[in-house]
Chain A
Amino acid sequence: MLKQTPLCDLHLKLGAKMVPFAGYQMPVHYGQGIIHEHLHCRSHAGFFDISHMGQCLILGDNAASELEQLTPSDITGLNMGAQKYTVLTNNEGGIIDDIIITRVEAGLMIIVNAACKDKDFSWLKNRLFGRCTFKDLPDQALLALQGPAAASVMAKFSKEAAGLLFMQSCATTINGLACSISRSGYTGEDGFEISVANQDAEQLAGWLLAEEDVEAVGLGARDTLRLEAGLCLYGHELNEAITPVEAGLQWLFKKGHKHFPGADKILQQLQHGPEKIRTGLLVESKIPVREGSVVVNNDDQALGIVTSGSFSPSLGKPVAMALLERNAASLGNTLYALVRERKIPVTVTKLPFIPHRYLR
Protein backbone atom coordinates (compact mmCIF):
# COMPACT_ATOMS: atom_id res chain seq x y z
CA MET A 1 0.00 0.00 0.00
CA LEU A 2 1.53 3.30 -1.08
CA LYS A 3 1.76 6.13 1.42
CA GLN A 4 0.39 9.55 0.57
CA THR A 5 1.69 13.00 1.38
CA PRO A 6 -0.76 15.58 2.82
CA LEU A 7 -0.94 17.11 -0.68
CA CYS A 8 -2.13 13.98 -2.47
CA ASP A 9 -5.66 15.34 -3.04
CA LEU A 10 -4.23 18.61 -4.31
CA HIS A 11 -2.01 16.78 -6.82
CA LEU A 12 -5.01 14.91 -8.18
CA LYS A 13 -7.01 18.15 -8.40
CA LEU A 14 -4.15 19.69 -10.36
CA GLY A 15 -4.29 16.80 -12.85
CA ALA A 16 -1.09 15.08 -11.77
CA LYS A 17 -0.01 11.77 -13.22
CA MET A 18 0.82 9.87 -10.04
CA VAL A 19 3.54 7.22 -9.81
CA PRO A 20 4.98 5.13 -7.00
CA PHE A 21 8.23 6.56 -5.64
CA ALA A 22 10.07 5.41 -2.50
CA GLY A 23 6.86 3.92 -1.13
CA TYR A 24 4.81 7.06 -1.79
CA GLN A 25 2.25 7.97 -4.39
CA MET A 26 3.89 11.03 -5.97
CA PRO A 27 3.22 13.35 -8.96
CA VAL A 28 5.61 12.76 -11.88
CA HIS A 29 4.12 15.69 -13.82
CA TYR A 30 0.91 17.68 -13.98
CA GLY A 31 -0.24 17.21 -17.57
CA GLN A 32 1.80 19.78 -19.46
CA GLY A 33 4.81 17.51 -19.27
CA ILE A 34 8.27 17.38 -17.76
CA ILE A 35 9.90 19.75 -20.26
CA HIS A 36 7.31 22.49 -19.71
CA GLU A 37 7.57 22.22 -15.93
CA HIS A 38 11.37 22.16 -16.05
CA LEU A 39 11.59 25.29 -18.19
CA HIS A 40 8.96 27.06 -16.10
CA CYS A 41 11.05 26.47 -12.98
CA ARG A 42 14.16 27.82 -14.75
CA SER A 43 12.33 30.93 -16.02
CA HIS A 44 9.73 31.63 -13.29
CA ALA A 45 9.12 29.49 -10.20
CA GLY A 46 8.20 25.89 -9.49
CA PHE A 47 6.29 24.53 -6.53
CA PHE A 48 7.30 21.04 -5.37
CA ASP A 49 5.79 18.67 -2.82
CA ILE A 50 8.75 16.92 -1.19
CA SER A 51 6.87 15.74 1.89
CA HIS A 52 7.99 12.17 1.20
CA MET A 53 11.42 13.15 2.50
CA GLY A 54 12.18 12.34 6.13
CA GLN A 55 12.48 15.02 8.78
CA CYS A 56 13.82 14.52 12.30
CA LEU A 57 15.29 16.43 15.22
CA ILE A 58 18.37 15.59 17.27
CA LEU A 59 17.93 17.19 20.69
CA GLY A 60 20.52 17.84 23.38
CA ASP A 61 23.36 20.25 24.11
CA ASN A 62 25.83 17.84 22.56
CA ALA A 63 23.78 17.18 19.39
CA ALA A 64 26.27 18.91 17.09
CA SER A 65 29.40 17.26 18.50
CA GLU A 66 27.71 13.84 18.45
CA LEU A 67 26.43 14.22 14.89
CA GLU A 68 29.82 15.46 13.73
CA GLN A 69 31.13 11.98 14.63
CA LEU A 70 28.78 10.52 11.99
CA THR A 71 29.69 12.84 9.09
CA PRO A 72 32.89 14.27 7.57
CA SER A 73 31.52 17.83 7.94
CA ASP A 74 31.74 20.73 10.35
CA ILE A 75 28.53 20.52 12.37
CA THR A 76 29.76 22.07 15.63
CA GLY A 77 30.61 25.25 13.74
CA LEU A 78 27.07 25.77 12.42
CA ASN A 79 25.59 29.07 13.56
CA MET A 80 21.95 29.26 14.62
CA GLY A 81 19.82 28.82 11.51
CA ALA A 82 22.72 27.74 9.31
CA GLN A 83 22.49 24.57 7.18
CA LYS A 84 25.03 22.06 5.96
CA TYR A 85 24.70 19.54 3.14
CA THR A 86 26.58 16.43 4.17
CA VAL A 87 26.62 12.63 4.10
CA LEU A 88 26.24 9.89 6.66
CA THR A 89 29.10 7.48 6.02
CA ASN A 90 29.33 3.77 6.85
CA ASN A 91 32.36 2.03 8.34
CA GLU A 92 33.66 1.18 4.86
CA GLY A 93 33.55 4.81 3.76
CA GLY A 94 30.41 4.39 1.65
CA ILE A 95 27.47 6.76 1.81
CA ILE A 96 24.43 5.77 3.87
CA ASP A 97 22.60 8.88 2.69
CA ASP A 98 23.09 12.51 1.76
CA ILE A 99 21.31 14.80 4.18
CA ILE A 100 20.79 18.43 5.16
CA ILE A 101 21.49 19.41 8.76
CA THR A 102 20.12 22.69 10.12
CA ARG A 103 20.96 24.18 13.49
CA VAL A 104 17.70 25.16 15.19
CA GLU A 105 16.89 26.34 18.73
CA ALA A 106 16.13 22.84 19.99
CA GLY A 107 19.20 21.18 18.47
CA LEU A 108 19.64 19.96 14.91
CA MET A 109 17.02 19.33 12.28
CA ILE A 110 17.85 16.75 9.62
CA ILE A 111 16.24 16.14 6.25
CA VAL A 112 16.89 12.75 4.65
CA ASN A 113 15.91 10.97 1.44
CA ALA A 114 12.53 9.25 1.40
CA ALA A 115 13.95 5.88 0.39
CA CYS A 116 16.59 6.03 3.14
CA LYS A 117 14.30 7.24 5.93
CA ASP A 118 14.03 3.97 7.86
CA LYS A 119 17.71 3.01 7.66
CA ASP A 120 18.90 6.56 8.44
CA PHE A 121 16.63 6.91 11.43
CA SER A 122 17.64 3.58 12.92
CA TRP A 123 21.34 4.36 12.26
CA LEU A 124 20.98 7.73 14.00
CA LYS A 125 18.97 6.28 16.90
CA ASN A 126 21.51 3.50 17.45
CA ARG A 127 24.56 5.71 17.16
CA LEU A 128 23.16 8.50 19.30
CA PHE A 129 21.45 6.26 21.88
CA GLY A 130 22.05 7.52 25.43
CA ARG A 131 23.74 10.67 24.12
CA CYS A 132 21.04 12.71 22.37
CA THR A 133 17.31 12.48 21.94
CA PHE A 134 16.04 11.47 18.50
CA LYS A 135 12.65 12.82 17.45
CA ASP A 136 10.97 11.82 14.20
CA LEU A 137 8.79 14.54 12.60
CA PRO A 138 6.13 12.55 10.71
CA ASP A 139 3.58 15.35 11.16
CA GLN A 140 5.62 17.84 9.12
CA ALA A 141 5.21 18.32 5.37
CA LEU A 142 7.99 19.73 3.19
CA LEU A 143 7.38 22.06 0.24
CA ALA A 144 9.85 23.71 -2.11
CA LEU A 145 9.61 26.92 -4.10
CA GLN A 146 12.38 27.15 -6.70
CA GLY A 147 13.31 29.47 -9.54
CA PRO A 148 14.27 33.06 -10.33
CA ALA A 149 10.85 34.33 -9.18
CA ALA A 150 10.93 32.41 -5.88
CA ALA A 151 12.38 35.34 -3.91
CA SER A 152 9.79 37.88 -5.08
CA VAL A 153 6.99 35.40 -4.35
CA MET A 154 8.41 34.62 -0.89
CA ALA A 155 8.70 38.34 -0.13
CA LYS A 156 4.89 38.56 -0.28
CA PHE A 157 4.55 35.89 2.42
CA SER A 158 7.58 36.31 4.67
CA LYS A 159 10.01 39.22 4.57
CA GLU A 160 12.19 37.33 7.03
CA ALA A 161 12.49 34.28 4.78
CA ALA A 162 13.01 36.43 1.68
CA GLY A 163 15.98 38.02 3.44
CA LEU A 164 17.81 34.73 4.01
CA LEU A 165 20.98 33.81 2.15
CA PHE A 166 21.70 30.36 0.64
CA MET A 167 21.82 27.63 3.32
CA GLN A 168 20.32 29.83 6.04
CA SER A 169 16.97 29.16 7.68
CA CYS A 170 14.50 30.76 10.04
CA ALA A 171 11.47 29.79 12.09
CA THR A 172 8.63 32.10 11.11
CA THR A 173 4.94 32.23 10.25
CA ILE A 174 3.13 32.67 6.95
CA ASN A 175 -0.33 34.16 7.48
CA GLY A 176 -0.30 32.65 10.95
CA LEU A 177 0.95 29.17 9.95
CA ALA A 178 4.16 28.14 11.71
CA CYS A 179 6.93 27.30 9.22
CA SER A 180 10.64 26.55 9.15
CA ILE A 181 11.95 28.08 5.95
CA SER A 182 15.40 27.66 4.44
CA ARG A 183 17.03 29.16 1.37
CA SER A 184 17.93 25.88 -0.29
CA GLY A 185 16.76 23.43 -2.89
CA TYR A 186 17.56 20.75 -5.42
CA THR A 187 17.31 22.55 -8.76
CA GLY A 188 20.38 24.82 -8.89
CA GLU A 189 18.01 27.79 -8.75
CA ASP A 190 17.53 30.30 -5.96
CA GLY A 191 14.65 29.15 -3.79
CA PHE A 192 13.23 27.97 -0.52
CA GLU A 193 12.24 24.79 1.29
CA ILE A 194 9.41 25.09 3.78
CA SER A 195 8.65 22.67 6.59
CA VAL A 196 5.05 23.10 7.72
CA ALA A 197 2.55 21.02 9.71
CA ASN A 198 0.76 18.38 7.60
CA GLN A 199 -2.61 19.95 8.43
CA ASP A 200 -1.46 23.35 7.09
CA ALA A 201 0.33 22.11 3.99
CA GLU A 202 -2.56 22.28 1.54
CA GLN A 203 -3.49 25.81 2.58
CA LEU A 204 0.08 27.04 2.19
CA ALA A 205 0.46 25.20 -1.13
CA GLY A 206 -2.73 26.88 -2.36
CA TRP A 207 -1.40 30.33 -1.53
CA LEU A 208 1.89 29.72 -3.30
CA LEU A 209 0.22 28.17 -6.35
CA ALA A 210 -2.18 31.13 -6.61
CA GLU A 211 0.82 33.33 -7.45
CA GLU A 212 1.05 34.04 -11.16
CA ASP A 213 4.71 33.01 -11.47
CA VAL A 214 4.27 29.69 -9.67
CA GLU A 215 3.37 26.35 -11.26
CA ALA A 216 3.43 22.89 -9.73
CA VAL A 217 6.41 20.78 -10.79
CA GLY A 218 6.55 17.00 -10.42
CA LEU A 219 9.30 14.50 -9.72
CA GLY A 220 10.12 14.12 -13.42
CA ALA A 221 11.33 17.70 -13.77
CA ARG A 222 12.83 17.61 -10.26
CA ASP A 223 15.15 14.92 -11.63
CA THR A 224 16.11 16.76 -14.84
CA LEU A 225 16.60 20.02 -12.89
CA ARG A 226 18.96 18.40 -10.39
CA LEU A 227 20.82 16.58 -13.18
CA GLU A 228 21.48 19.87 -15.01
CA ALA A 229 22.59 21.34 -11.67
CA GLY A 230 25.07 18.44 -11.28
CA LEU A 231 23.53 17.39 -7.97
CA CYS A 232 23.76 13.81 -6.72
CA LEU A 233 20.73 11.56 -6.37
CA TYR A 234 20.97 8.84 -3.76
CA GLY A 235 20.81 5.38 -5.32
CA HIS A 236 22.38 6.73 -8.50
CA GLU A 237 25.50 8.88 -7.92
CA LEU A 238 25.61 7.87 -4.25
CA ASN A 239 25.28 4.53 -2.49
CA GLU A 240 26.81 2.42 0.28
CA ALA A 241 29.75 1.44 -1.95
CA ILE A 242 30.62 4.94 -3.22
CA THR A 243 32.69 7.24 -1.00
CA PRO A 244 32.14 11.00 -0.78
CA VAL A 245 35.56 11.52 -2.42
CA GLU A 246 34.53 9.39 -5.41
CA ALA A 247 31.29 11.37 -5.56
CA GLY A 248 33.28 14.61 -5.69
CA LEU A 249 31.88 15.84 -2.39
CA GLN A 250 35.17 16.65 -0.62
CA TRP A 251 34.08 20.31 -0.48
CA LEU A 252 31.77 19.37 2.38
CA PHE A 253 34.62 17.98 4.54
CA LYS A 254 35.82 19.69 7.73
CA LYS A 255 39.57 20.14 7.57
CA GLY A 256 41.39 17.94 10.07
CA HIS A 257 38.24 15.97 11.02
CA LYS A 258 39.22 12.31 11.40
CA HIS A 259 36.57 10.80 13.64
CA PHE A 260 33.69 9.65 11.48
CA PRO A 261 32.79 6.21 10.09
CA GLY A 262 35.04 5.09 7.25
CA ALA A 263 37.46 7.98 7.84
CA ASP A 264 40.55 5.83 7.19
CA LYS A 265 39.54 4.93 3.67
CA ILE A 266 38.01 8.30 2.88
CA LEU A 267 40.96 10.38 4.08
CA GLN A 268 43.38 8.11 2.25
CA GLN A 269 41.43 8.69 -0.97
CA LEU A 270 41.42 12.40 -0.24
CA GLN A 271 45.20 12.37 0.01
CA HIS A 272 46.05 10.06 -2.90
CA GLY A 273 43.04 10.57 -5.14
CA PRO A 274 40.28 8.00 -5.68
CA GLU A 275 40.40 5.38 -8.42
CA LYS A 276 37.07 6.50 -9.80
CA ILE A 277 35.36 9.85 -9.77
CA ARG A 278 31.96 11.34 -10.60
CA THR A 279 32.00 13.35 -13.83
CA GLY A 280 29.67 15.17 -16.17
CA LEU A 281 29.19 13.92 -19.72
CA LEU A 282 27.91 16.05 -22.58
CA VAL A 283 26.34 13.70 -25.10
CA GLU A 284 27.41 14.50 -28.67
CA SER A 285 24.31 12.93 -30.19
CA LYS A 286 20.56 13.18 -29.94
CA ILE A 287 20.40 9.70 -28.45
CA PRO A 288 19.82 9.90 -24.69
CA VAL A 289 22.44 8.08 -22.63
CA ARG A 290 20.86 6.54 -19.56
CA GLU A 291 21.77 5.09 -16.20
CA GLY A 292 23.65 1.81 -16.45
CA SER A 293 25.21 2.57 -19.83
CA VAL A 294 28.86 1.45 -19.94
CA VAL A 295 31.44 4.11 -20.82
CA VAL A 296 34.35 2.95 -23.01
CA ASN A 297 37.33 4.49 -24.80
CA ASN A 298 38.36 4.20 -28.46
CA ASP A 299 39.75 0.72 -27.73
CA ASP A 300 36.46 -0.45 -26.22
CA GLN A 301 38.04 -0.61 -22.78
CA ALA A 302 35.36 -0.14 -20.09
CA LEU A 303 36.13 2.92 -17.96
CA GLY A 304 33.00 3.36 -15.92
CA ILE A 305 29.25 3.53 -15.86
CA VAL A 306 26.58 6.18 -16.31
CA THR A 307 24.84 6.93 -12.99
CA SER A 308 22.17 9.32 -14.33
CA GLY A 309 21.32 10.36 -17.84
CA SER A 310 18.47 12.20 -19.46
CA PHE A 311 17.50 14.86 -21.94
CA SER A 312 18.41 18.32 -20.67
CA PRO A 313 15.47 20.62 -21.43
CA SER A 314 17.61 23.73 -20.90
CA LEU A 315 20.38 22.63 -23.27
CA GLY A 316 18.06 20.82 -25.69
CA LYS A 317 20.32 17.76 -25.76
CA PRO A 318 21.13 14.78 -23.58
CA VAL A 319 23.51 15.01 -20.62
CA ALA A 320 24.68 12.44 -18.10
CA MET A 321 26.75 11.90 -15.01
CA ALA A 322 29.07 8.90 -14.73
CA LEU A 323 31.45 7.28 -12.30
CA LEU A 324 34.69 6.99 -14.32
CA GLU A 325 38.25 5.85 -13.76
CA ARG A 326 40.04 8.97 -12.64
CA ASN A 327 42.66 8.96 -15.41
CA ALA A 328 39.86 8.87 -18.01
CA ALA A 329 37.95 11.68 -16.38
CA SER A 330 40.02 14.62 -17.60
CA LEU A 331 37.92 17.50 -18.87
CA GLY A 332 37.41 17.54 -22.62
CA ASN A 333 38.21 13.85 -23.00
CA THR A 334 36.07 12.15 -25.66
CA LEU A 335 34.70 8.76 -24.64
CA TYR A 336 31.77 6.62 -25.72
CA ALA A 337 28.65 5.46 -23.93
CA LEU A 338 27.21 2.18 -25.14
CA VAL A 339 23.55 2.50 -26.09
CA ARG A 340 21.89 -0.48 -27.78
CA GLU A 341 25.37 -1.74 -28.77
CA ARG A 342 26.25 1.57 -30.41
CA LYS A 343 29.07 3.84 -29.31
CA ILE A 344 27.62 7.27 -28.57
CA PRO A 345 30.34 9.96 -28.28
CA VAL A 346 30.40 11.84 -24.99
CA THR A 347 32.71 14.61 -23.75
CA VAL A 348 33.86 14.72 -20.14
CA THR A 349 32.70 18.10 -18.87
CA LYS A 350 32.65 20.00 -15.63
CA LEU A 351 29.56 20.10 -13.49
CA PRO A 352 27.10 21.71 -13.20
CA PHE A 353 25.75 21.77 -16.77
CA ILE A 354 23.73 24.90 -15.90
CA PRO A 355 25.31 27.46 -13.53
CA HIS A 356 23.87 27.56 -10.03
CA ARG A 357 21.98 30.72 -9.15
CA TYR A 358 22.14 30.55 -5.38
CA LEU A 359 21.92 33.79 -3.39
CA ARG A 360 25.11 33.79 -1.33
Chain B
Amino acid sequence: MNHLPENLKYALSHEWAHVEDDNVVRVGITDFAQEQLGDLVFIELPELGRKITAQEQCAVVESVKTASDLFSPVSGEIVAVNSTLEDEPEQVNENPYGAWIFCVKTTDLSGLDKLMDADAYQLVIDQ
Protein backbone atom coordinates (compact mmCIF):
# COMPACT_ATOMS: atom_id res chain seq x y z
CA MET B 1 0.00 0.00 0.00
CA ASN B 2 1.27 3.47 -0.91
CA HIS B 3 1.29 5.90 1.98
CA LEU B 4 -0.71 9.05 1.43
CA PRO B 5 1.23 12.26 2.06
CA GLU B 6 0.37 13.41 5.61
CA ASN B 7 0.75 17.11 4.81
CA LEU B 8 -2.17 17.17 2.40
CA LYS B 9 -5.92 17.38 2.85
CA TYR B 10 -8.21 15.25 0.75
CA ALA B 11 -11.67 15.74 -0.79
CA LEU B 12 -14.30 13.06 -1.35
CA SER B 13 -14.07 13.98 -5.03
CA HIS B 14 -10.41 12.83 -4.93
CA GLU B 15 -8.60 16.17 -5.07
CA TRP B 16 -5.73 16.87 -2.72
CA ALA B 17 -5.12 20.33 -1.27
CA HIS B 18 -1.98 21.82 0.21
CA VAL B 19 -2.05 25.04 2.18
CA GLU B 20 0.83 27.35 1.27
CA ASP B 21 1.82 30.77 2.55
CA ASP B 22 -0.54 33.75 2.13
CA ASN B 23 -3.73 31.67 2.20
CA VAL B 24 -2.92 30.04 -1.12
CA VAL B 25 -4.23 26.50 -1.57
CA ARG B 26 -2.57 24.26 -4.15
CA VAL B 27 -4.80 21.58 -5.68
CA GLY B 28 -4.19 18.36 -7.61
CA ILE B 29 -5.73 14.90 -7.92
CA THR B 30 -4.81 11.91 -5.81
CA ASP B 31 -2.89 8.82 -6.86
CA PHE B 32 -6.12 6.85 -6.46
CA ALA B 33 -7.90 9.24 -8.85
CA GLN B 34 -5.24 9.08 -11.55
CA GLU B 35 -5.16 5.31 -11.32
CA GLN B 36 -8.93 5.07 -11.68
CA LEU B 37 -8.90 7.43 -14.66
CA GLY B 38 -5.96 5.83 -16.44
CA ASP B 39 -3.77 7.56 -19.04
CA LEU B 40 -4.56 11.28 -18.98
CA VAL B 41 -4.62 12.95 -22.40
CA PHE B 42 -5.96 16.44 -21.68
CA ILE B 43 -6.38 18.77 -18.72
CA GLU B 44 -8.58 21.82 -18.99
CA LEU B 45 -7.11 24.37 -16.62
CA PRO B 46 -9.14 27.16 -15.04
CA GLU B 47 -8.64 30.72 -16.24
CA LEU B 48 -6.18 32.79 -14.22
CA GLY B 49 -8.01 35.36 -12.14
CA ARG B 50 -11.28 33.47 -12.15
CA LYS B 51 -13.29 33.87 -8.96
CA ILE B 52 -14.67 30.61 -7.68
CA THR B 53 -16.68 29.41 -4.75
CA ALA B 54 -15.98 26.27 -2.77
CA GLN B 55 -17.20 23.05 -4.46
CA GLU B 56 -17.43 24.83 -7.81
CA GLN B 57 -16.32 22.87 -10.85
CA CYS B 58 -13.22 24.58 -12.19
CA ALA B 59 -11.10 22.13 -14.20
CA VAL B 60 -11.51 18.93 -16.19
CA VAL B 61 -9.13 15.99 -16.41
CA GLU B 62 -9.63 13.73 -19.40
CA SER B 63 -8.31 10.22 -19.80
CA VAL B 64 -8.53 8.05 -22.90
CA LYS B 65 -11.89 6.77 -21.73
CA THR B 66 -13.57 9.56 -19.85
CA ALA B 67 -13.74 13.20 -18.70
CA SER B 68 -13.87 14.01 -15.01
CA ASP B 69 -14.62 17.33 -13.27
CA LEU B 70 -12.37 18.88 -10.65
CA PHE B 71 -13.76 21.02 -7.85
CA SER B 72 -12.16 23.75 -5.82
CA PRO B 73 -12.03 22.96 -2.10
CA VAL B 74 -12.18 26.65 -1.15
CA SER B 75 -13.65 29.93 -2.36
CA GLY B 76 -11.28 32.49 -3.81
CA GLU B 77 -9.38 33.46 -6.94
CA ILE B 78 -7.30 31.28 -9.26
CA VAL B 79 -3.79 32.72 -8.87
CA ALA B 80 -1.74 30.04 -10.65
CA VAL B 81 -2.25 27.15 -13.06
CA ASN B 82 0.25 24.46 -13.99
CA SER B 83 0.44 25.19 -17.71
CA THR B 84 3.08 22.50 -18.29
CA LEU B 85 0.16 20.06 -18.06
CA GLU B 86 -1.23 21.42 -21.33
CA ASP B 87 1.50 19.58 -23.22
CA GLU B 88 2.25 16.87 -20.68
CA PRO B 89 -0.93 15.78 -18.89
CA GLU B 90 0.77 12.44 -18.23
CA GLN B 91 2.78 14.17 -15.46
CA VAL B 92 -0.32 13.70 -13.30
CA ASN B 93 -0.19 9.92 -13.88
CA GLU B 94 3.52 9.80 -13.14
CA ASN B 95 3.62 12.09 -10.12
CA PRO B 96 0.13 12.95 -8.87
CA TYR B 97 1.27 14.74 -5.70
CA GLY B 98 3.92 16.76 -7.54
CA ALA B 99 1.94 17.66 -10.66
CA TRP B 100 -0.40 20.23 -9.10
CA ILE B 101 -3.18 21.62 -11.28
CA PHE B 102 -4.19 25.03 -9.91
CA CYS B 103 -3.77 27.35 -6.90
CA VAL B 104 -6.57 29.31 -5.23
CA LYS B 105 -5.96 32.34 -3.03
CA THR B 106 -8.66 32.38 -0.44
CA THR B 107 -9.89 34.70 2.27
CA ASP B 108 -11.58 31.82 4.03
CA LEU B 109 -9.61 28.71 4.85
CA SER B 110 -12.59 27.22 6.68
CA GLY B 111 -13.56 25.28 3.54
CA LEU B 112 -10.58 23.09 4.28
CA ASP B 113 -12.24 21.89 7.46
CA LYS B 114 -14.58 19.84 5.30
CA LEU B 115 -11.63 17.96 3.81
CA MET B 116 -10.18 14.74 5.21
CA ASP B 117 -6.76 13.99 6.59
CA ALA B 118 -4.71 11.16 5.11
CA ASP B 119 -6.09 8.51 7.47
CA ALA B 120 -9.72 9.36 6.76
CA TYR B 121 -9.14 9.48 3.00
CA GLN B 122 -7.37 6.13 3.17
CA LEU B 123 -10.56 4.64 4.62
CA VAL B 124 -12.56 6.12 1.73
CA ILE B 125 -10.38 4.60 -0.97
CA ASP B 126 -10.08 1.26 0.82
CA GLN B 127 -13.83 0.76 0.54
Instruction: Give the interface of A toward B (CB within 8 A).
Output: 28-29, 33-36, 220, 223-224, 286-288, 290, 310-311, 313, 318, 340
Q: How far is the CA of A286 from the CA of B60 in the complex (A)?
A: 13
Known contacts A29-B38, A286-B86, A311-B42: A34-B60 contact under CB 8 Å: no
- Interface: B120 (CB within 8 A): no
State how many angstroms separate the Cβ of B35 from the closest Cβ of chain A. 8
CA distance A37 to B109 in the complex (A): 43
Q: Are B60 and A220 in contact (CB under 8 A)?
A: no
| 3 A-B pairs with least C-beta separation | A311-B41, A33-B39, A34-B64
Pick from B39, B42, B62, B67: contact of A35, CB below 8 A.
B39
C-alpha gap A290/B66 in the complex (Å): 8
Residue pair B64, A313 in contact (C-beta under 8 Å): yes
Chain B window 6-35, contacts with chain A (Cβ cutoff 8 Å), 1 for yes, 0 for no: 000000000000000000000000000000
The answer to whether A287 and B65 have CB atoms under 8 Å apart is no
Quick check: is B44 within 8 A (CB to CB) of the other chain?
A: yes
Main secondary structure of the interface of A (DSSP, over half): mixed
| A-chain residues with CB within 8 Å of residue B64 when the two chains form the complex | 34-35, 220, 224, 310-311, 313
- Cα A313 to Cα B41 with chains together (Å): 9
Q: Is there contact, CB below 8 Å, between A288 and B41?
A: yes
Q: Please, which residues of chain B bring their CB within 8 A of the CB of A286? A: 41-42, 86
Give Cα A34 to B63, complex, Å.
Answer: 10
Would A288 and B62 count as touching, CB distance under 8 A? yes
* Interface size class of chain B, counting residues whose CB lies under 8 Å from the partner chain: 10 to 19
Name A287's contact: one of B38, B39, B42, B93 (CB within 8 Å): B42
Chain A residues with CB under 8 Å of B42's CB are: 286-288, 311, 318
Q: With both chains docked as a complex, state the minimum distance between the C-beta of A314 and any C-beta of chain B, in angstroms.
A: 12
Bound together, the chains give a CA A277 to CA B13 distance in angstroms of: 40
Docked complex: B48-81 residues within 8 A CB-CB of A: 60, 62, 64-65, 67
Given A29-B38, A286-B86, A220 and B44 touching (CB < 8 A)?
A: no
Q: Which residues of chain A have C-beta atoms less than 8 A from B39's C-beta?
A: 33-36
A34→B38 contact, CB < 8 A: yes
Rounded to whole angstroms, the CA-CA distance of A35 and B90 in the bound complex is 11
Question: Residue on B with the closest CB to A35?
Answer: B39
Residues of B within 8 A of A290 (CB): 67
Given contacts A33-B38, A35-B39, A288-B42, 13 further A-B contacts (CB under 8 A): A28-B38, A35-B41, A220-B38, A220-B64, A220-B65, A224-B64, A286-B42, A288-B41, A288-B62, A290-B67, A310-B65, A318-B41, A318-B42
- Residues of B with C-beta under 8 A to A35: 39, 41, 64
Write out the residue numbers on chain B whose beta carbons fall within 8 Å of the beta carbon of A287. Answer: 42, 44, 62
CA gap between A137 and B57 in the complex, in Å: 49
Could you list 30 examples of A-B contacts with CB < 8 Å? A28-B65, A29-B38, A33-B38, A33-B39, A33-B93, A34-B39, A34-B64, A34-B65, A35-B39, A35-B41, A36-B39, A220-B38, A220-B65, A223-B65, A224-B64, A286-B42, A286-B86, A287-B44, A287-B62, A290-B67, A310-B64, A310-B65, A311-B41, A311-B42, A311-B62, A313-B64, A318-B41, A318-B42, A340-B44, A340-B60
A282 to B38, CA, bound (A): 23
List of A residues within 8 angstroms of B62 by Cβ: 287-288, 311
User: Which chain B residues border A34 with CB–CB below 8 Å?
Assistant: 38-39, 64-65
Chain A residues lying within 8 Å of B41, measured Cβ to Cβ, are: 35, 286, 288, 311, 318
